[in-house]
Amino acid sequence: MKIEATPLKDCFIIHDTVHGDARGYFIETFNQRDFKAASGLDMVFVQDNQSRSSKGVLRGLHMQRGAAAQAKLVRVLEGAVLDVVVDLRKGSPSFGQHFTIELTAENHKQFFVPAGFAHGFVVLSESATFFYKVDKFYEPGDEVGIMYNDKDLNIDWKLPTSELIFSEKDKTLGSFADYAASL
């Protein structure tokens, strides 16, 4: 496991070691001891989640706030996604900044998203299976979100808006400015 820092404080790209031969491959996708040694973070994950989506499905930008704020370790099992995070931690040196990374089944990269970040992804391949671990249980009353096309964030989702598919909930998320004003 090799951990690479990103420009956003406490966000990490994880490059797993792939052990392959004619039979296929093996990857140790998480090791708490190694992760703590490389990142300084002592994570205990309590729930695993998985979704499958078609090309153009955009899920996000979501987060849990307060005591329910979740850290996530995300990866793609099939297909390709553009994964996006926005730092919403008041007082953070990277507050309001976003970071994007392409996660694919082939590149085997994982992305660690700390608590206090909004998170989303869009499917770039015909379909994708997205898998993630969280360190807190989901609390519906503590969920907030930012619109994917927020003018202050100016995120390039790599697909034309006409190709994006959203849930009804994601069409009504708030703005970054409104979220920042509520802090």
Q: Name the amino acid, one letter, at 146.
A: I
Q: Is 25 a catalytic residue?
A: no
Torsion sign, CA atoms 123, 127, 132, 138: positive
Burial of 62 from C-beta contacts in 10 A (0-12 / 13-18 / 19+): middle
What are the tokens at 136?
């807190």
Task: Clarify whether 132 is annotated catalytic.
Answer: yes
Helix (H, G, I), strand (E, B), or coil: what is residue 177? helix
Residue corresponding to tokens 């993630």: 132
Closest CA to 121 of 175, 155, 81: 81
Sequence letter at residue 33:
R
Query: What whole-number distance in Å separates Cα of residue 61 and Cα of residue 110?
Result: 18
Q: Name the catalytic one among 25, 98, 119, 132.
A: 132
Strands 98-104 and 80-87, sheet pairing: antiparallel
Catalytic residues: 62, 132
